[in-house]
Structure 1
Amino acid sequence: MSDDHSNEWYYNVKTGKVEPYQGSKSADRLGPYNSPEEAARALDKVQERNESWDNDPKWDDD
């Protein structure tokens, strides 16, 4: 695994801000993402995945 984290971006769920690798503790972050713009959409991506899984018959546990 590479030690170069220069292209890693994270979304901090506590602050609502995008951070580089050297940011807050990992328990408060989503990522890594390849760009600050992609990290800023982290919650949108979570929602999209949740909706996809909710409608996937393989994940129907009702």
Structure 2
Amino acid sequence: MASEDNKWYYNTATGEVAQGLVFDSTHRMGPYDTEAEAREALEIAEKRVEEAEAYDEAGEDWGEKPSWEK
């Protein structure tokens, strides 16, 4: 059994959760280690997006204006 068969996945089209690669890849989120994590796939993704946006915003603040704006 491949390692992907032991993982859990969330189907974005139906909201179903299953173990293994049973869903079409266009609607599959994962892999997740547990069924509970797969059930929270949308919340996990939303949190990751918020963290990435915060990281991007922090990286844009160099503490001083560009030379052409002085």
Q: Which has the higher contact order (CA 8 A, sep 6+)?
A: 1
For 2:60 and 2:13, the matched residues in 1 are separated by 29
Give structure 1 regions of 4+ aligned residues with deviation exceeding 3 angstroms: none
Between Structure 1 and Structure 2, how many residues are aligned?
A: 59
Deviation at residue 17 of structure 1 after TM alignment: 1.0
The structure that is helix-richer by fraction is 2
Q: Residues 15-35 of structure 1, C-alpha deviation per residue, up to 9 Å, x if partnerless?
A: 011011141211111001111
Provide structure 1 residue ranges, at least 5 long, that are not aligned to the other structure. none
> CA RMSD, aligned part only?
2.1
Structure number with greater Rg is 2
Q: TM-score, normalised by structure 1?
A: 0.78
Q: Which runs of 5+ in 2 are unaligned?
A: 62-70
